[in-house]
Structure 1
Amino acid sequence: MTVLAREQEPGSTFVVHPGADGAGVVRRTVLPGGLRIVTETVPTVRSVAFGIWAGVGSRDESIEDAGASHYLEHLLFKGTRKRTALEISSLMDAAGGEMNAFTAKEYTCYYARVLDSDMPLAIDVVSDMVTNSLIEPQDVDAERGVILEEIAMHDDDPTDAVHDEFSAALFGDTPLGRPILGTVESISGVGRDRIARYYRERYVPQNLVVSAAGNVDHDEVVRLVQAAFEGVLGDAAQLPTAPRIGGPGASPAAGVRSIVRPTEQANLILGTVGITRTDERRFALGVLNAALGGGMSSRLFQEIREKRGLAYSVYSYNSQYADTGIFGVYAGCLPAKVDEVLEICRDEVAKVAEHGITEEELERGKGQLRGSFVLGLEDTGSRMSRIGKSELVYDSLLSVDDILGRIEAVTLDDVRTVGREILGRPMTMTVIGPFEGRDFTL
């Protein structure tokens, strides 16, 4: 394990992981003002993925600010003091690059992937967007309509909506229980001044991480980022930053949330609170998840789809946050089959909670985790995401070998113990479908 140097002196460079034969070297530099830069060298490729991570997401929002993090994600593409929105997109298109952003519960990321020769352009454009956005009133009004359309599109897809409804059922009216996109009411009511203030408070250097992976030279990245952030960097102690809203809030409790819609398919999630992202048991829970519903050989897939043909899509999943998590089972089936599908899901969850998994499932789960992790690092974008997210939300950056070793070290007892604790908890259920008058609490 390589611990990130949190007390590193501004301007100094720290080798987080030495790599091998010049590849996989991860370096870290802290600039004045607290801006952190991490890079991973992959000299065998001709591309660079560059990202800026902001430590702000939907769980940092008050009720009045609901949806502000995602709103900002849209607005930062609308123009800066140096470039119009068209110039931003034209520059990246002319270079054959790709640029985008995403907002999560606990962070927001703006990124670009370009040829290595176009890295200075990517750094300049993305940094300019993050540090010099104008947040013009006319852009706020125009983008409001776009976001309302996005909310409508999301709500029209029950396979998406059921996950938001499940979070609301599990965490209640708390930041983690609210949708990332915000609501029609919150987006319709928020004004330019509130969003601009949110931007000024949250997008400060000590709350940002710059990450780059590919055919990069760390010192060059530092030089280009420092030039792009000119005038923004300063003494971190003098820069205000708003506090996080806090923990998940209301204590999760078992219950049923039924949303009546005239859909052709019922969409349901059965689940409970999981573990935090830094919990050492996350590797054992990952193996359990693979065995229960993580692939075509998993118990849920075999019992519900292969043997009985009751559903096309069925899987289990786990999500981790700073102070809590989610473990859930999803299934989409014909409304007439929902009772049978739900019964099988409950039975399989109960069996794993009581008896754990088999030796064969253990080895298969380990192999699935190892393969998906390593294959996921085959492109520069995933490597950039790994080091950027690790710097932002973890206390350490585990090397690839460290992670593979921890997966391999998982035992049947480890899986049984975490399964008994997580799956033995009272379950919350959310279902969307044509169930007028149906009481699922029975």
Structure 2
Amino acid sequence: MIRRRELLAGLPAAALLGARPAQAADPALDAPPPPGPPRPVSIPPLHEERLPNGMTVVVAPRRGLPLVSATLLVRVGAESDPPDGAGLAELVAGLLTKGAERGGRPVGAPEIARQAEALGGSLDAGSGWRSSSVGMTVTPPRLDAALALMSDALRSPLLQPQELERLRVQAVDNLRVAESDPGSIADRVARRLYWGGGAYGAVTSAASLQRLTRDEVVGFHRQGYRPGQSLLVLAGDITPEQGQALAERHFGGWRPNRMNPLPRRDGVGAPLSPRSVLVDLPGAGQSAVIVLAPFTSLSSDDRPELRAAQVANAVLGGGYSARLNQEVRIRRGLSYGAGTSVEMHPEGGAWQASAQTDHRNAAQVAGLLRDEVLRLGQAPPSAEELAARQATLVGSFSRRLETNGGVASLVAGQWAQGRPLADLANYVPEILAVTPAQVRDFAVRRWKAQDLRTVVVGDVRAAPEAFAALADADATALRLRADALVFDGPGLQAPPR
């Protein structure tokens, strides 16, 4: 039997419309509504308290939606990985949801997942620079039970050997998949090229993961996860009094240990000597291109400098109409898109522009990215261009304030970076106060030709002329094969025997 859906699928659009006569557009009905007036960006009140054990509690009441986002964060991350154990902090965070001691009995990963699902959410965990966290979003009546689950996962994880091995295998498999992706390889090479052998230049590898032992996992958790370095954020339909009472109930008994805190490795940047690294990845479909430059640091107290840096980044890579995408995609069609990212640490910062392109265009794209970085020092944004980029920053910030999870992540990120929470209220006016001259001056000070680094990963045989042009443009260029990259030492390749 032929179904009606099958009959309709074969008919032309005109037949489906019943051959209705064409009608002129009615502006009153067909035109989109005009934009509403701008709304002020409103930061919810942030009520900050400390428990006697040193734990920080922040409650951000937001009425209207019966949900609460809870984030539990510890100020420890990959900067405390051992020199030969990159990936330890991430493994520990991954194990937090894989089993915990609950009510005096061990509860495995499947039961933890079922308990979280029964609360109407999922228990998420992760780790980055200077932070490891667990989080959930639930309705207010289930927040008590959710915090009990989060507390047990963070404070009393089982860290079982079999779960460690399962997580290790998954991480190694993911790395092997990434070894065929030019973008992933370029990111790893760029990190080592810019930061060198210090903490921020550490790259997780299959070898570093295989070296990690359960004793190291247990020791990292025992030393690094402590109440005096922890934060609980509750954002949503909750009062400060309710939040404080729940925090005391579930975390007030968390006792500080007397062990020394985990040491932070030296994170001072020490770029490798080559200014360019060209990596041959046979069979790659495209070339990945990255240009690196210095950025401001987290420890800088110069707020105008920080805001100028953020606006400068937005001018180059803050959206479809930003300069890099204009030059690489819109005007020349050399890539589906060019964008930027920044990474800030107490010891320094890094700025990164990236794009993927046809192998034959790799040298041209690399040149365009570098030229646009340097051009900002001579061609500051016009008033119209500046206003558009400032609007993207303000819009992105305000959108995060629209959800409980966004508010919680903003607070957690600010706290992890060691910045006052009150600074969040100053973000918008400070961004809007940045001038074209400040953007230009930042680019002149920070983005000098001799400080730029370039990474290109692609199939050399597919476009030998392009890679030869890249090598000829930089006498310091280092040429490597992807299968010869070694991230376990301080450089990018194994030392000669």
Give the TM-score normalised by structure 1: 0.89
1:81 aligns with 2:105: no
2:240 to 209, 218, 223: 218
Single out whichever of 160-169 and 327-336 deviates more from structure 2. Answer: 160-169
Question: Mind listing any 5+ residue stretches in structure 2 that lack a counterpart?
Answer: 1-39, 473-497
- 1:209 corresponding residue in structure 2: 231
Which of structures 1 and 2 has the bigger CA Rg? Answer: 2
Please state how far the C-alpha of 1:253 moved relative to its aligned partner: 5.6
Determine helix, strand or coil for the equivalent of 1:384.
Answer: helix
Where do 1:119-268 residues align within 5 Å?
Answer: 119-179=143-203, 182-229=204-251, 231-234=253-256, 238=258, 240-251=260-271, 255-261=275-281, 262-268=283-289
AA of the residue aligned to 2:226: V
Superposed CA RMSD in Å reads: 2.2
Do the aligned partners of residues 160 and 113 (structure 1) sit closer, same or farther apart at CA in structure 2, a change above 3 Å counting?
A: farther
Single out whichever of 98-107 and 82-91 deviates more from structure 2. Answer: 98-107
1:48 aligns with 2:68: yes
Do the aligned partners of residues 429 and 23 (structure 1) sit closer, same or farther apart at CA in structure 2, a change above 3 Å counting?
A: closer
AA of the residue aligned to 1:267: A
Determine helix, strand or coil for the equivalent of 1:101.
Answer: strand
Q: Is the 8 A contact 1:49 1:380 kept in 2?
A: yes
Q: Is the 8 A contact 2:55 2:230 kept in 1?
A: yes
Please state how far the C-alpha of 1:400 moved relative to its aligned partner: 5.0
- 1:33 corresponding residue in structure 2: 53
1:290 to 296, 304, 314: 314
Distance across 1 between alignment mates of 2:272 and 2:385: 30
Determine helix, strand or coil for the equivalent of 2:319.
Answer: coil
1:358 aligns with 2:382: yes
Distance across 1 between alignment mates of 2:236 and 2:178: 34
Please state how far the C-alpha of 1:435 moved relative to its aligned partner: 2.0
Q: Is the 8 A contact 1:353 1:424 kept in 2?
A: no
Distance across 2 between alignment mates of 1:152 and 1:225: 42
Q: Is the 8 A contact 1:60 1:246 kept in 2?
A: no
Distance across 1 between alignment mates of 2:79 and 2:423: 29
Q: Is the 8 A contact 1:32 1:233 kept in 2?
A: no
AA of the residue aligned to 2:298: R
Distance across 1 between alignment mates of 2:369 and 2:205: 31
Determine helix, strand or coil for the equivalent of 1:354.
Answer: coil
Distance across 2 between alignment mates of 1:74 and 1:168: 24
- 2:455 corresponding residue in structure 1: 430
Q: Is the 8 A contact 2:94 2:167 kept in 1?
A: yes
- 2:91 corresponding residue in structure 1: 71
Q: Is the 8 A contact 2:328 2:335 kept in 1?
A: yes
Do the aligned partners of residues 365 and 65 (structure 1) sit closer, same or farther apart at CA in structure 2, a change above 3 Å counting?
A: same
Distance across 2 between alignment mates of 1:249 and 1:336: 33
- 2:338 corresponding residue in structure 1: 314
1:336 aligns with 2:360: yes
Determine helix, strand or coil for the equivalent of 1:311.
Answer: coil
Determine helix, strand or coil for the equivalent of 1:97.
Answer: coil
2:292 to 271, 284, 290: 271
Please state how far the C-alpha of 1:169 moved relative to its aligned partner: 0.8
Distance across 1 between alignment mates of 2:288 and 2:297: 26
Distance across 2 between alignment mates of 1:353 and 1:178: 32
Question: Mind listing any 5+ residue stretches in structure 1 that lack a counterpart?
Answer: 1-19
Distance across 2 between alignment mates of 1:350 and 1:144: 42
Q: Is the 8 A contact 2:94 2:126 kept in 1?
A: no
Cα deviation, 1:269-305, whole Å, max 9, x if unaligned, reads: 1012211135422211222122212111112111211
Q: Is the 8 A contact 2:294 2:447 kept in 1?
A: no
Give the TM-score normalised by structure 2: 0.79
Do the aligned partners of residues 106 and 158 (structure 1) sit closer, same or farther apart at CA in structure 2, a change above 3 Å counting?
A: farther
Single out whichever of 427-436 and 69-78 deviates more from structure 2. Answer: 427-436
Distance across 2 between alignment mates of 1:395 and 1:302: 34
